[in-house]
Amino acid sequence: MKKFEYKVISKGIPAALNDKKYAEIAHEIEGELTKLGLEGWEFVQWKNTMVVLKREVE
């Protein structure tokens, strides 16, 4: 049976953003998720301001 560990990250995005600032924040989040993906973390869900990730443990 597979076992997982989970990580929850808070990522609030201000409601009033111009396109440039929104793109900067999106790029920052992409970089962080890519880094975590390389560490074995898999995206599960984004709900409100929380990002949930999981990775298999042995």
DSSP of 14-33: -SS--HHHHHHHHHHHHHHH
pTM score over 0.75: yes
What is the band of 5 on the pLDDT scale with cuts at 50, 70, 90? very high
Look at phi and psi of residue 48 and say left if phi exceeds 0, alpha if psi is from -120 to 50, else beta.
left
Give the count of beta carbons closer than 10 Å to the beta carbon of residue 17: 13
Give which of 5, 1, 2 is closest to 44, Cα–Cα: 5
Per residue in 13-44, pLDDT (tens digit) is 777 778 888 888 889 989 999 999 999 999 99
- Residues 58 and 1 sit within 8 Å (Cβ to Cβ): no
Instruction: With a cut of 80, say whether residue 10 has pLDDT above it.
Output: yes
